Amino acid sequence: MSLGAFSVSLAVKDLAVSKEFYEKLGFSVFGGGMERNYLIMKNGNALVGLFQGMFENNILTFNPGWDENAQLVDGFKDVRAIQKDLKAQGVKFETEADEAASGPGSFVVLDPDGNAILVDQHV
């Protein structure tokens, strides 16, 4: 099952300090904005989201329909179809995408250790 582009979304205490740290590791700002309290940092194919005050714990994030450059991928599996497949396998959901809708949507599941996995479709 292809889930799309992968990134780690980190809950940070100080966005400016975290930005500076990740820049030292070779990351540069790819999206977001300081005024919006989040930045998406990119280094090659690696993506790290830095989020200040938006959530408490780190989150694994997948974006169906996008590659690591936020470019549309042809023939991707819709987030609602992924959700349906996971439900059929007995996966429990924290939040669900509206199955009657189309386009953007998201859901959250927890892995066995309580780590949040966000599947967030933007297209």
Cβ neighbours, 10 Å, residue 18 = 18
Rounded-to-integer distance, Cα 56 and Cα 46, Å: 22
Cβ neighbours, 10 Å, residue 67 = 13
Rounded-to-integer distance, Cα 82 and Cα 88, Å: 10
Q: Quote the pLDDT of residue 60.
A: 98
Rounded-to-integer distance, Cα 109 and Cα 95, Å: 7
Per-residue pLDDT 10s for the chain (123 aa) are 889 999 999 999 999 999 999 999 999 999 999 999 999 999 999 999 999 999 999 999 999 999 999 999 999 999 999 999 999 999 999 999 999 999 999 999 999 989 999 999 999
CATH T-level assignment (fold) for domain 5-121:
2,3-Dihydroxybiphenyl 1,2-Dioxygenase; domain 1 (3.10.180)
Domain ranges of the chain: 5-121
Q: Quote the pLDDT of residue 1.
A: 82
**Which residue in 5, 8, 19 sits closest to 69, CA to CA?**
5
| pTM of the model as a whole | 0.91
